[in-house]
A and B are shown apart, each in its own frame.
Chain A
Amino acid sequence: MSDFFSSGWSWYIAAVTIAGLGFCLWLLLASSKTTTMSDDGTTGHVWDEDLREMNNPLPRWWLGLFIITVVFAAIYLTFYPGLGAREGTLKWSQEGQLQAEQAAAQAKVAPLYAKYTAMAAEDLATQPEAMAIGQRLFLNNCAQCHGSDAKGSKGFPNLTDGDWLWGGAFDAIKHSITQGREGNMPPMAAAVGGSEDLRNVAHYVLSLSDSAHDSLRAQLGKPKFAACAACHGSKGEGNTALGAPRLNDKVWLHGWGETAIVTMIQNGKHNVMPAQNQLLTPEQIHVLAGYVWSLSNGKPAVVAAK
């Protein structure tokens, strides 16, 4: 066992356990023998002039119960871990039990998911029960970052607005959940130019979505945007293959305005959505993706009462 730095401890604990059992057995058998006491139902000891201890004998079968506990301990230690580092013949472990229980739970819910696994997103969205399952999965696994209402916040994408970093098709959503996503924008200040160039590009970016901007600076920044266009597209339409955000809409995941954009160009951004395939089964991800898909594709089926 890795908990011990010397196997001597294991032997020590095993020895103490066995000696303890032996002592219990000896004590039980020794005390079951008749001893000499007085004939008036007391032990014969008198303290403080007149205090005596009554002998109130237990039924004999009770002794059997005590002995059974010792036998039980011996049987237990044979089958289960307990004697030092010994594993026990059943090879039982907490981890093993957890895995068995999880497998049993999966098997129990499998039929629940079975009828949904073949469904397309459009059909899933019409199933109130599937949407209720999806919502619970979302609240338990996704809401920590994306918010209980899936509208995200700064740095965490809004999933209800139809604007997708990696594509909003059902399969793309499933892929995002299963494998996770890693968006990486390198620091681009060197490629864009000096600090004035950075501000000009920022205003050009703002102009793409017709946000408030300085049109003169935007004009000056337009040629410099070539460095950005490789990923974000020449008109700032973004690229879902790279996870490069659209710049020509008013969704500002990492903040809006000249300062925020300049900072982004200077520092770049590395944003990660963790993979969920270790936490959720493919069937669960299927239903969950259906729920997420429904959030931005029309009104999801109202999670109605049973």
Chain B
Amino acid sequence: MNPSPAPVPVSLYKKRQKIHPREIAGRFQNWRWVFVFLTQAVFYGLPWLQWATEVGSRQAVLFDLEARRFYLLGMVFYPQDFIYLTALLVVCAYALFLFTAVAGRLWCGYACPQTVYTSIFLWVEQKIDGSKIQRERLDKAPWTWDKLWRRVSKHSAWLAIALVTGFTFVGYFTPIRSLAAEVLSASLGPWQTFWIFFYALATWGNAGFLREQVCKYMCPYARFQSAMFDRDTLIIGYDRERGEPRGPRGRGDDLKAKNLGQCIDCGLCVQVCPTGIDIRNGLQYECIGCAACIDACDQVMDKLNYPRGLVRYDTENGIEQHLDRKTEFLRVLRPRVWVYTAVMWLIIAAVGVSLWMRPPLRFDVLRDRGALARWNEDGQLENVYRVQLMNLVERPQTYRIRVESTELPGVSLGTPAEVTVGPIEARWVPVSIHLPADQAPPKDGAHAVRFVVERLARGSDAVHEIAESSTFVVPR
């Protein structure tokens, strides 16, 4: 550290240097393409799956915001099931913590949409504009017909991918098959049009232009990863001891005599880096863990007949203390990893049990507020309620309502007890409860009653009962 730095004019802003990562092939690049195909097959394919129900088939995964019904394969969720979304997000967060604590930014490097779409867009760019050097030269070149058609075709291809992505995204919220028909007949609604184009624009902008800037300036994850990293976390590291001093050498040079390490300072690791850093400077917040530099360095090591792994997946302790893989593996099992794993599986188990025990119906009882109680023509005391029945399954169901009370054993239902409710329908049913006058208790006021709704057996649906408590008012 320089105690008296020389003053120079600097700015709080700087012009962005466009990064053209050099094309690379290798083990980890292959893994990235595996994840690109996997994630995109799921993203583009899922909305086209249909799910057969008793009342016809529907889209298997559909989040119908307008009707507030969220279809997930055989299940239908309601806004009341928000807790499951919370649980899902908590599980995702813990999975992220766990993977990061064990092996660094795996998500960023292989599965994050920002990485995935950038990979796809870069592939298109390479096909049209050529290699890193050709792309850099084209950027500087004056506008010619050649540059024009390359630019036009590149952006057309990008926009095509972006529009399909936007269309698919909207297809999760509005049935994609009818959406496709509307697109073909140019009869899209205004909001569908807006979101398709908005999401397409975001894809085009993020993957085509912003690229590594999203990771460097916008993504909060890069900023708090240091809280999840420790010295036993697998990161992409440069073996300084083995590589330094770096420098060019001729074939068969004696490294000891020339005082050289194994790094030939070819700079390939910098050229392939999508965020433009030099991994040899150590762990940096810009590093998204894509391992392109490992692939690049391994190629060079192979050519020189040096062992691979000058740049490799390793832990900070591993590089410094020369730990073998077995010791490193044992160090994976440290308290934070146990805690993340335990909490994650605990929540997954809780969600699983909760889904397994999820009732096929929901109901609510609301007392009529206008009149607490009344005497009917038969001289019985009568209270009126509104029962909201929600059929949570995609089959018509018949429910039998009954009322029980230990305080008022004589209560009975004054309205028809059986109600048939359509698939995933919610219905208000007015219900009255009777109490013969001679059974009215000496004490007036509110008395506890219990409503029980029983789902009658039908086909494969077994009998299921749930209860809600309410009160029966005896007037003065």
Q: Are B370 and A250 in contact (CB under 8 A)?
A: no
Q: Are B12 and A58 in contact (CB under 8 A)?
A: yes
Residue A69 interfacial (CB < 8 Å): no
Q: Are B432 and A151 in contact (CB under 8 A)?
A: yes
Q: Across the two chains, which residue of chain B brings its CB closest to A153?
A: B371
Q: Are A31 and B384 in contact (CB under 8 A)?
A: no
Residues facing A in B1-42 (CB within 8 A) are 1-3, 5-16
Q: Are B10 and A34 in contact (CB under 8 A)?
A: yes
Q: Are A60 and B16 in contact (CB under 8 A)?
A: yes
A145 to B15, CA, bound (A): 70
Q: Which of A38-46, A264-272, A279-287 is found at the contact surface with chain B?
A: A38-46
Q: Are A33 and B11 in contact (CB under 8 A)?
A: yes
Knowing A144-B370, A154-B374, A156-B370, the reply to whether A305 touches B5 (Cβ < 8 A) is no
Q: Which of B157-165, B179-187, B421-429 is found at the contact surface with chain A?
A: B421-429
B274 to chain A: closest CB distance in Å?
16
Residue B340 interfacial (CB < 8 Å): no
Q: Are B7 and A63 in contact (CB under 8 A)?
A: no
- Cβ 8 A contact of B8, one of A38, A58, A305: A38
A242 to chain B: closest CB distance in Å?
25
Residue B309 interfacial (CB < 8 Å): no
- Cβ 8 A contact of B7, one of A31, A44, A46, A60: A44
Q: Are A37 and B8 in contact (CB under 8 A)?
A: yes
B90-121 vs A, CB cutoff 8 Å, 1 = contact: the mask equals 00000000000000000000000000000000
Q: Are B14 and A57 in contact (CB under 8 A)?
A: yes
Q: Across the two chains, which residue of chain B brings its CB closest to A66?
A: B13
A139 to B41, CA, bound (A): 48
- Cβ 8 A contact of A148, one of B2, B7, B430: B430
Question: Which residues on A sit within 8 Å (CB–CB) of B431?
Answer: 148-149
A31 to B415, CA, bound (A): 75
A301 to B374, CA, bound (A): 27
A298 to B206, CA, bound (A): 66
Residue A91 interfacial (CB < 8 Å): no
A3 to B160, CA, bound (A): 53
Question: Which residues on B sit within 8 Å (CB–CB) of A143?
Answer: 368, 370, 386, 430
A304 to chain B: closest CB distance in Å?
7
Q: Are A62 and B370 in contact (CB under 8 A)?
A: no
Residues facing A in B356-393 (CB within 8 A) are 368-371, 373-374, 376-377, 382, 384-386
Q: Are B10 and A37 in contact (CB under 8 A)?
A: yes
Which one of B1, B13, B16 has the highest number of Cβ atoms from chain A below 10 Å of its Cβ?
B13
A210-253 vs B, CB cutoff 8 Å, 1 = contact: the mask equals 00000000000000000000000000000000000000001000
Residue A278 interfacial (CB < 8 Å): no
Q: Across the two chains, which residue of chain B brings its CB closest to A304?
A: B420
Knowing A37-B8, A148-B385, the reply to whether A153 touches B425 (Cβ < 8 A) is no
Q: Across the two chains, which residue of chain A brings its CB closest to B17?
A: A59
Q: Are A38 and B6 in contact (CB under 8 A)?
A: yes
Report whether over half of chain A's contact residues are helix, strand or loop; otherwise say mixed: mixed
B438-474 vs A, CB cutoff 8 Å, 1 = contact: the mask equals 0000000000000000000000000000000000000
Q: Are A148 and B386 in contact (CB under 8 A)?
A: yes
Question: Which residues on B sit within 8 Å (CB–CB) of A58?
Answer: 12-14, 217
- Cβ 8 A contact of B13, one of A44, A57, A147, A304: A57
Q: Across the two chains, which residue of chain A brings its CB closest to B11?
A: A34
Q: Are B16 and A59 in contact (CB under 8 A)?
A: yes
Question: Which residues on B sit within 8 Å (CB–CB) of A152?
Answer: 371, 374
Q: Are A145 and B370 in contact (CB under 8 A)?
A: yes
Residue B213 interfacial (CB < 8 Å): yes
Interface residues on chain B, number (Cβ under 8 Å): 41
Question: Which residues on A sit within 8 Å (CB–CB) of B376?
Answer: 151
Knowing A62-B217, A304-B420, the reply to whether A44 touches B430 (Cβ < 8 A) is no
Question: Which residues on B sit within 8 Å (CB–CB) of A154?
Answer: 371, 374
Question: Which residues on A sit within 8 Å (CB–CB) of B5?
Answer: 38-40, 42, 44
B150 to chain A: closest CB distance in Å?
24
A38 to B10, CA, bound (A): 8
Residues facing A in B402-423 (CB within 8 A) are 415, 420-423
Q: Are B16 and A61 in contact (CB under 8 A)?
A: yes
Question: Which residues on B sit within 8 Å (CB–CB) of A31?
Answer: 12
Knowing A36-B7, A38-B8, A144-B369, the reply to whether A63 touches B13 (Cβ < 8 A) is yes
Residue A50 interfacial (CB < 8 Å): yes
Residue B396 interfacial (CB < 8 Å): yes
Question: Which residues on A sit within 8 Å (CB–CB) of B14?
Answer: 57-60
Question: Which residues on B sit within 8 Å (CB–CB) of A305?
Answer: 396, 420-423, 425
- Cβ 8 A contact of A57, one of B12, B369, B377: B12
Q: Across the two chains, which residue of chain A brings its CB closest to B416?
A: A302
Which one of B371, B420, B425 has the highest number of Cβ atoms from chain A below 10 Å of its Cβ?
B371
Q: Across the two chains, which residue of chain A brings its CB closest to B218?
A: A62
Question: Which residues on A sit within 8 Å (CB–CB) of B217?
Answer: 58-59, 62
A38 to B111, CA, bound (A): 40
A39 to B2, CA, bound (A): 10
Knowing A36-B7, A136-B428, the reply to whether A147 touches B16 (Cβ < 8 A) is no
Residues facing A in B228-260 (CB within 8 A) are none
Q: Across the two chains, which residue of chain A brings its CB closest to B385?
A: A148
Residues facing B in A281-306 (CB within 8 A) are 303-306
Residue A2 interfacial (CB < 8 Å): no
Question: Which residues on A sit within 8 Å (CB–CB) of B385?
Answer: 148
A58 to B213, CA, bound (A): 10
A150 to B415, CA, bound (A): 13
Q: Are B13 and A60 in contact (CB under 8 A)?
A: yes
- Cβ 8 A contact of B384, one of A35, A44, A60, A148: A148
Residues facing B in A109-164 (CB within 8 A) are 135-136, 139, 143-154, 156
Question: Which residues on A sit within 8 Å (CB–CB) of B7?
Answer: 36-39, 44
Question: Which residues on B sit within 8 Å (CB–CB) of A106?
Answer: none
Q: Across the two chains, which residue of chain B brings its CB closest to A251?
A: B377
Q: Are B213 and A59 in contact (CB under 8 A)?
A: yes
B349 to chain A: closest CB distance in Å?
37
A139 to B5, CA, bound (A): 78
A139 to B430, CA, bound (A): 9
Q: Are B425 and A147 in contact (CB under 8 A)?
A: no
Q: What are 10 contact pairs spanning A and B, CB under 8 A?
A: A32-B13, A44-B5, A57-B11, A58-B13, A59-B213, A60-B15, A147-B370, A151-B374, A151-B384, A152-B371
Closest 10 CB pairs of A and B: A38-B5, A153-B371, A305-B422, A148-B430, A57-B14, A149-B430, A59-B16, A34-B9, A153-B374, A39-B8
- Known pairs A147-B370, A148-B430, A305-B420 / 12 extra A-B pairs, C-beta < 8 Å: A34-B11, A38-B2, A40-B2, A40-B5, A58-B217, A59-B13, A59-B16, A60-B15, A135-B428, A139-B430, A146-B370, A148-B428
